[in-house]
Copies of this chain bind each other. A is one copy, B any other.
Amino acid sequence: VERMKEMAVGLSKKVKKIVKDDPRRVAHCFKVGLALTIVSIFYYVTPLYEGLGVSTMWAVLTVVVVMEYTVGGTLSKGLNRAFATLLAGSLGVGAHQIAVLCGDKGEPILLGLFVFTIAAGATFSRFIPEIKARYDYGVTIFILTFSLVAVSSYRVEELIQMAHQRVSTIAIGVATCLGTTVFVFPVWAGEDLHKQVANNLDKLATFLEGLEAECFGEKARCENLESKSFFQVYKSVLNSKPSEDSLFNFAKWEPGHGQFGFRHPWKQYQKLGALSRQCASAMDTLSSYITTFPKSQATATDVELRLQIRAACAEMSSESAKALRELSSAIRTMTAPASANRHVAASLEAAANLRSALSEDVALSEIVHLAMISSLLAELVLRTAGIAGS
B-binding residues in A (CB < 8 A): 14-15, 18, 25-26, 28-30, 32-34, 36-37, 40, 43-44, 49, 54, 56-57, 60-61, 64-65, 108, 111-112, 115-117, 119-121, 123-124, 127-128, 140, 143-144, 147-148, 151-152, 154-155, 201, 204, 208, 215, 238-239, 241-242, 268, 271-272, 275-276, 278-279, 281-286, 288-290, 293, 295-299, 301-302, 305-306, 309-310, 312-313, 316-317, 319-320, 323-324, 327, 337, 340-341, 344, 347-348, 350-351, 354-355, 358-359, 362-390
What is the distance, in angstroms, from A299's C-beta to the closest C-beta of chain B?
Answer: 5
Contact assessment for B376 and A140 in the assembled complex, using a CB-CB cutoff below 8 Å: no
Listed A/B pairs (11) with beta-carbon separation below 8 Å? A18-B124, A54-B54, A208-B380, A275-B390, A282-B285, A282-B380, A310-B370, A312-B374, A316-B378, A351-B374, A351-B377
A57 to B242 alpha-carbon distance, docked (Å): 35
Residues from chain B with a CB closer than 8 A to the CB of A299 are 362-363, 366
Q: Do A285 and B281 contact each other (CB < 8 Å), given the known contacts A155-B49, A312-B374?
A: yes
Contact assessment for A365 and B296 in the assembled complex, using a CB-CB cutoff below 8 Å: yes
Q: Do A40 and B115 contact each other (CB < 8 Å), given the known contacts A124-B26, A381-B351?
A: yes
What is the distance, in angstroms, from A389's C-beta to the closest C-beta of chain B?
Answer: 8
Q: Which residue of B143, B354, B380 contacts A320 across the interface (Cβ within 8 Å)?
A: B380
Contact assessment for A147 and B64 in the assembled complex, using a CB-CB cutoff below 8 Å: yes
Of all chain B residues, the one with the shortest Cβ separation from A238 is B281
Contact assessment for A377 and B286 in the assembled complex, using a CB-CB cutoff below 8 Å: yes
A138 to B296 alpha-carbon distance, docked (Å): 57
Contact assessment for A151 and B43 in the assembled complex, using a CB-CB cutoff below 8 Å: yes
Contact assessment for B286 and A376 in the assembled complex, using a CB-CB cutoff below 8 Å: yes
Q: Do A324 and B387 contact each other (CB < 8 Å), given the known contacts A116-B37, A155-B43?
A: yes
Residues from chain B with a CB closer than 8 A to the CB of A32 are 119-120, 123, 143
Contact assessment for B29 and A123 in the assembled complex, using a CB-CB cutoff below 8 Å: yes
Q: Do A378 and B362 contact each other (CB < 8 Å), given the known contacts A119-B36, A127-B18, A201-B387?
A: no
Contact assessment for B368 and A355 in the assembled complex, using a CB-CB cutoff below 8 Å: no
A121 to B11 alpha-carbon distance, docked (Å): 14
What is the distance, in angstroms, from A242's C-beta to the closest C-beta of chain B?
Answer: 5
A212 to B125 alpha-carbon distance, docked (Å): 42
Contact assessment for A384 and B323 in the assembled complex, using a CB-CB cutoff below 8 Å: yes
Residues from chain B with a CB closer than 8 A to the CB of A28 are 123
Of all chain B residues, the one with the shortest Cβ separation from A65 is B140
Residues from chain B with a CB closer than 8 A to the CB of A61 are 144, 148
Q: Which residue of B143, B305, B324, B372 contacts A289 across the interface (Cβ within 8 Å)?
A: B372
What is the distance, in angstroms, from A28's C-beta to the closest C-beta of chain B?
Answer: 7
A37 to B118 alpha-carbon distance, docked (Å): 11
4 new A-B contacts at CB < 8 Å, known A312-B374, A316-B377, A371-B372: A32-B120, A272-B390, A283-B380, A351-B378
What is the distance, in angstroms, from A316's C-beta to the closest C-beta of chain B?
Answer: 5
Q: Which residue of B15, B271, B354, B367 contacts A305 across the interface (Cβ within 8 Å)?
A: B367
Q: Which residue of B25, B49, B242, B296 contacts A124 across the interface (Cβ within 8 Å)?
A: B25
A201 to B384 alpha-carbon distance, docked (Å): 10
Q: Do A313 and B124 contact each other (CB < 8 Å), given the known contacts A148-B60, A296-B369, A366-B296?
A: no
What is the distance, in angstroms, from A234's C-beta to the closest C-beta of chain B?
Answer: 10
Of all chain B residues, the one with the shortest Cβ separation from A124 is B29
Q: Do A341 and B388 contact each other (CB < 8 Å), given the known contacts A140-B64, A147-B40, A281-B281?
A: yes
Residues from chain B with a CB closer than 8 A to the CB of A384 are 204, 279, 320, 323-324, 344, 347
Residues from chain B with a CB closer than 8 A to the CB of A379 are 282
Residues from chain B with a CB closer than 8 A to the CB of A377 are 286, 313, 316-317, 351
